[in-house]
Structure 1
Amino acid sequence: MQVKCFDTTSDLDLYAARLFASALKAKPEATLGLATGSTPIGIYEKMIEMYENGEMSFQYATTFNLDEYVGLPPDHEQSYARFMRRHLFGHIDLPAGKAHLPNGNAADLAAECAGYDRMLEAQPVDIQLLGIGHNGHIGFNEPDEELQGGTHIVALEQDTREANARFFASIDEVPTQAITMGVGSILKAESILLVVKGADKAAIVKQALQGPITTECPASLLQTHKNVTVLVDREAGRLL
């Protein structure tokens, strides 16, 4: 595991974007694992800049997102499908049919999970972008006595819903379930890029990277992967 600390979030975002650009330069048809939330927004902004400057192309790439809320249609203002169009897909040359997200509004969620896993098996992720929740979740894999390997439906912890309530009019509007790529699927990626920003994440970063490997901190399972790069700002990395 390689850990890099940055003085500014701009430098961190640019470094992360360049890792994706390098992956696409080496393999234009690479499969990219993408994430949502506030953490990757700056990275996506850098990617868009690099695309506009001719430094990066997604023309032959395929993307898979980690998760989606259950019950929100793709055009809902707070759906992750809408998030990705707003912050990345609507600004680059990725073909529409090559961008994949779980459908949390599917009539048969079990079939949706199984189908997503089949696609991931057919096109393994080359580089997976991750953030981390305050409770150590990755994707929407919440702490538990045991974790599921494949794509599945998860009940969101109250603190996760509270953390995401800032994007909704009230916490009552935050969905109680999500469909998420499993930890097993995440760990199958050829390389993983964990990005963490802010002093409020310092304690969980230390626990995930230096604490015991346990399903009670899903991110700690990243310690078992052969190729993980962790990018933190000074505040998030202050306890390492």
Structure 2
Amino acid sequence: MEVVICSSAEQIGAHVADVYAEVLRGDDPVIGLATGSSPLVAYGELIRRHREDGLSFAHATAFLLDEYAGLARSHPESYHAVIRRELVDHVDIDPARVHSPDGEAHDLAEECRRYDAAIEAVGGVDVQLLGIGTDGHIGFNEPMSSLSSRTRPKTLTQQTREDNARFFDSIDDVPHHVLTQGLGTIRTAHHLLLVATGAGKADAVAAAVEGPLAARCPASILQLHPHATVFVDEAAASGLEYADYYRYAYAHKPAWQTF
């Protein structure tokens, strides 16, 4: 795992965009997208590069991490709608190639199996962007999720519903259930990028990066991945015991070694 401590959210966004741009230059790229506040700066930079530098998404396929169960795709806070508003409508990717779990499916368990099979059918996700919750969740894998779990329905914790209430009129409107890629599914991506900003994420970041591998901190599964990169600002890095080492390692990173 590489930990990169950045000076600002904008620097994080530029680093993430660098990784995605490299993948997008390849043949038949498959990109993993996340929603929420953490990815927004990176999406803004990718949109800028598309408009100003000609970065193309036209040949890409995308998969979202998760979706609310029971929320219509037309609802403005469905992740199907959010990702189009935040990224898809501003670049040249084919919306039909942007896939998300169907939270309105009649058989949610079967929908989850179908979604995992669709990811496998394209050879897996090349690069997956991840945020982290204050309790260490990634995707909607709440604490005590199985470390080998696949895409499945999950019940949200009250903390996650409270964290997400800012996107709805009230917490009463936040669904209790979701469909999410499991930790085992996420681990099949070839490169994982976790981003975090702000002191509110410091404890979760420290637990994920330096704590034990444990279901109580789902993001700790990054420790098992052969290619995981963590981009954090100074505030989010404030709980890291080995912060000075991460800074030293990055400062002495060889020119031939990319993210």
TM-score, normalised by the number of residues in structure 1: 0.97
Change (3 A) 1:148 1:74: farther
SS in 2 for 1:134: coil
Bigger shift: residues 138-147 or 165-174: 138-147
Q: In the alignment, residue 230 of structure 2 is paired with which amino acid?
A: V
How does 1:1-240 map onto structure 2 within 5 Å?
A: 1-25=1-25, 27-123=26-122, 124-144=124-144, 146-147=146-147, 149-240=149-240
Q: In the alignment, residue 107 of structure 1 is paired with which amino acid?
A: H
| 1:68-97 residue CA offsets vs partner (Å, 9 max, x unmatched) | 001111110111111111000001111122
Q: In the alignment, residue 71 of structure 1 is paired with which amino acid?
A: G
Q: Give, in whole Å, the separation in 2 of the partners of 1:204 and 1:109.
A: 30
Q: In the alignment, residue 172 of structure 1 is paired with which amino acid?
A: D
SS in 1 for 2:231: strand
Unaligned runs of 5+ in 1: none
Q: Percent identity?
A: 45
Unaligned runs of 5+ in 2: 241-259
State the 4+ residue runs in structure 1 displaced beyond 3 angstroms: 145-148
| 1:56-78 residue CA offsets vs partner (Å, 9 max, x unmatched) | 11111100000000111111011
Q: Give, in whole Å, the separation in 2 of the partners of 1:152 and 1:213.
A: 21
Q: CA deviation at 1:116?
A: 0.2
| 1:122-181 residue CA offsets vs partner (Å, 9 max, x unmatched) | 120000100011111110001116355211000000000000001111111000000000
Task: Indicate the residue corresponding to 2:247 in structure 1.
Answer: none
| 1:87-117 residue CA offsets vs partner (Å, 9 max, x unmatched) | 0000111112210011111112112111101
SS in 2 for 1:190: coil
Q: Is the 8 A contact 2:146 2:183 kept in 1?
A: no
Q: Give, in whole Å, the separation in 2 of the partners of 1:2 and 1:201.
A: 18
How well do the aligned residues superpose, as a CA RMSD in angstroms?
1.1
Q: Is the 8 A contact 1:147 1:215 kept in 2?
A: yes
Q: Is the 8 A contact 2:71 2:104 kept in 1?
A: yes
Q: In the alignment, residue 210 of structure 1 is paired with which amino acid?
A: E
TM-score, normalised by the number of residues in structure 2: 0.90
Q: In the alignment, residue 82 of structure 2 is paired with which amino acid?
A: F
SS in 1 for 2:113: helix
Q: Give, in whole Å, the separation in 2 of the partners of 1:147 and 1:73.
A: 29
Q: In the alignment, residue 71 of structure 2 is paired with which amino acid?
A: L
- The number of equivalent residue pairs is 239
Q: In the alignment, residue 149 of structure 2 is paired with which amino acid?
A: G
Bigger shift: residues 55-64 or 224-233: 55-64
Q: Give, in whole Å, the separation in 1 of the partners of 2:208 and 2:117.
A: 29
Q: CA deviation at 1:49?
A: 0.5
Q: Is the 8 A contact 2:147 2:221 kept in 1?
A: no
